A and B are shown apart, each in its own frame.
Chain A
Amino acid sequence: MTTPQYSPPAAPEAIPDNPPRVKPIVALGGMYRLLLRQQLTKGRVLLALVMGALGILVCTIIARESEIVDVVPVVEFLSVFALGLAIPILSLVLASSSLGHLVEDETLVYLWLRPAPRWILALSAYLASLTVALPSTVVPFSIAAWVGLEGDTSGTLALAYATALAVVAYCGIFVFIGLILRRSLIWGLLYVFIWEFFVARAGQGAARLSINTYPSSLLSRLTEVELPLAERSMTAAITVPPVVAVIAVGLTAWQLNRANVA
């Protein structure tokens, strides 16, 4: 290492009226790349691989047990395992850490204090978690569907669409939860198991307030397999998850504006 010349930045003579303003797209790109790199840990990749492999394994077993291609058990299994369990949990692990980890290790200040609108930080965190969560769920569960349905393209695509919709909504919710709650993993798991699994299955009224019912309804309508409490219309199934995501990102930006940053 060479000894540098001692030359601190020059002090401004007067406070400039217009200090440099960062362009939103530039700030978005910078924050997104950083948060994306933070997302990719060995543990999270391993969890995604295990979940995906498990889905593929079970679908393979289901396909081998039946002499004819039976859509129902494969779709029912993927509805429960992929849409009801693996996707919310994977989304939770990835998205809740996106900002939650910055809060815990007190690095949020390095992004928060920069002169960029807070919605950019919220959107960056959401996009970063989505970038990891989408391929790590859509790819393995589509393979699982393709194996289970013995190459049925329409069924495989139906599962892929439903998975993508679920991830879009869950990531938004869990980025927000990660920001506002300490121990967000525990709270998120309680939400998944108690609300999505238990309360939302108690009846149609509660089901409307769960995320799972919308991708399940889409899967049900596209595959024509009846699934429990999957009775939302096609329009609702397609539009509600992205709307939930937009609201969640907006809430995250709002919370960032009023947060106490360490």
Chain B
Amino acid sequence: MKPYQGYLILLYYIVLIIIGFLASKYIQFILSLALIYAIVAMGLVILIGYCGLISFGQGAFYAIGAYSVGLIYKYAHIENVEILFTIGIIAGTLISILIGLLCIRTRKIAFAMITLAFTMIIYTILLKFYYITGGTDGLRIPIVKIAGFIPFRGRELPISNEYFFIVAIFVVVLYLTTRIINSPFSYTLRMLRDAEVRAISLGISPSKAYLIAFTYSGFLGSIAGTLYAFLNAHIDPSLAYWTTSGEFVFITILGGISSIGGVILASIIYTFLKAYLIAYTAYYWQFAIGIMLLLIVFLSPKGISLIIDKTSRVFYKFIKLYKKTS
């Protein structure tokens, strides 16, 4: 890890906040949604890109994060955002450890399928035990308070409070994930992905490493889920449906599997494209996204990260040129 990266992340925060001040409330909402998706996708980068494990079960932790917020509000009447947020993350992480212990015993397609099964189990539980979870009606998330007194949804401000909060969490997650990717642990994961038997013979425990990676992605999933609950103010079981998880995997692949910048860009492009396609074409947004996907797969095999790579290469060339001339 380069020493200036910590400051770089502070810069991202300031840039995102400035963008928030310039943009309308609608754009802020969609951008917040994109950042939430990016948080989940970063967890999937660790899992898909670095472990080679395709998880179709991120929706499970997403829903657990969101529903623990909703249920705690409904039954314990706690309105403090910090408490709801913390409990949501703890619940999601604990369950991701439990599910992870079972899932990491499988690899490849079996892993994808077992994670899919778990998210569907969570979905059916949320759907069928409607006397607790509200069923398809979902749950309402109230106007929550920070530190007990500030209203979390300040409509009179030019920038919504959720946006501040989500951007702050996003930046912290971004910092954590880049730290993990640049740490020796990520090399352990890469070795396990490429040569598991060799890694075992060198004394690496695959189940331990995979469990940490899985728990981390579950942790990010539950963070995103709680944030989604605050942002959308309404949650329903479709958060745990397999298509939600499919969407996350899809964003990650679109971003080029192992590139953090790529998945963030991919989630922003995807969310904005979806929002505007729904606004203009109502029923046919999936068609446009499907065509776009086919084009990306056939024309740019590495996803959006290829575009980032190329532009950054051009950028570095300019820097070199600049250094030579000065």
| Bind each other | no
**Which residues in A have some Cβ–Cβ distance to B below 8 Å?**
none
Residues of B within 8 A of A (CB): none
